[in-house]
A and B are shown apart, each in its own frame.
Chain A
């Protein structure tokens, strides 16, 4: 079955602009999480959605937001971009149920803010 699909793969934006990233989870996976990866801070949790509801949110400013649609596809939005938002943004999906399941990650969206 198809893996987790993230679009676009690469993105260049200017400071102050906003950006929307998309993630299509594995079919049947209802949980979608987003992570930011930077050389300085490593991998950090942004938020998790399940059945269109945000279940958990990491320690990021309100400029970072997301949503999930009824087909489990998810989008994350970053408004008023800053240079420090340059990062690899990773989406992961997981089957519903308890915590003892691994996540399947997409290939990521590389965002560069100039």
Chain B
């Protein structure tokens, strides 16, 4: 079963704009990870944030985590057409044997 929901389900923006995606989850976690998937291919790991961290940056990516609200957000700044993809959050639940539980994903379209 899926851990939670992502919001919005689809997002369309112009090149150069920022894109924000939100993820909610249901249980206590060890960490939360974000992945990108292009057109039904494999997933690419973007960034991992641990449960004791609140914010993390990697290039044009910024991730926040609010464990009290069981939510996370992914911000992509200065988007490019090449950022067009599906984005998934995934959690590793506390005490679990390391499986990833995925959200439902956000389809991002960046228009040139």
User: Are B42 and A45 in contact, with the CB atoms below 8 A?
Assistant: no
Q: In the assembled complex, which residues on chain A have CB atoms less than 8 Å from the CB atom of B45? A: 102-105
Interface residue range, chain A:
20 to 34
User: Are B41 and A56 in contact, with the CB atoms below 8 A?
Assistant: no
Residue on A with the closest CB to B94?
A99
Give CA–CA (A107, B41) in the complex, Å.
Answer: 5
Q: Pick the residue among B88, B90, B97, B103 that contacts A48 (CB under 8 A).
A: B97
Q: In the assembled complex, which residues on chain A have CB atoms less than 8 Å from the CB atom of B68? A: none
Residue on A with the closest CB to B33?
A102
Q: In the assembled complex, which residues on chain B have CB atoms less than 8 Å from the CB atom of A59? A: 1
**CB-CB contacts below 8 Å: A55-114 with B:** 55-56, 58-59, 88, 90, 92, 94, 99-108, 110
**CB-CB contacts below 8 Å: B78-112 with A:** 88, 90, 92, 96-105
Interface residue range, chain B:
20 to 34
Give CA–CA (A103, B90) in the complex, Å.
Answer: 11
Taking the complex as formed, is A31 at the interface, i.e. its CB lies under 8 A from any CB of chain B? yes
Within the complex, the shortest CB–CB distance from B94 to chain A, in Å, comes to 9
Q: Pick the residue among B2, B41, B42, B96 that contacts A42 (CB under 8 A).
A: B2
User: Are B31 and A100 in contact, with the CB atoms below 8 A?
Assistant: yes
Q: A55-B97, A55-B98, A102-B33 are in contact. Are A88 and B104 (CB under 8 A)?
A: no
Give B contacts to A, CB under 8 Å: 1-2, 30-31, 33, 35, 40-45, 48, 50, 88, 90, 92, 96-105
Given contact pairs A99-B31, A105-B42, enumerate 8 new A-B contacts (beta carbons under 8 Å): A43-B90, A88-B40, A90-B42, A99-B92, A100-B30, A105-B43, A107-B41, A107-B42
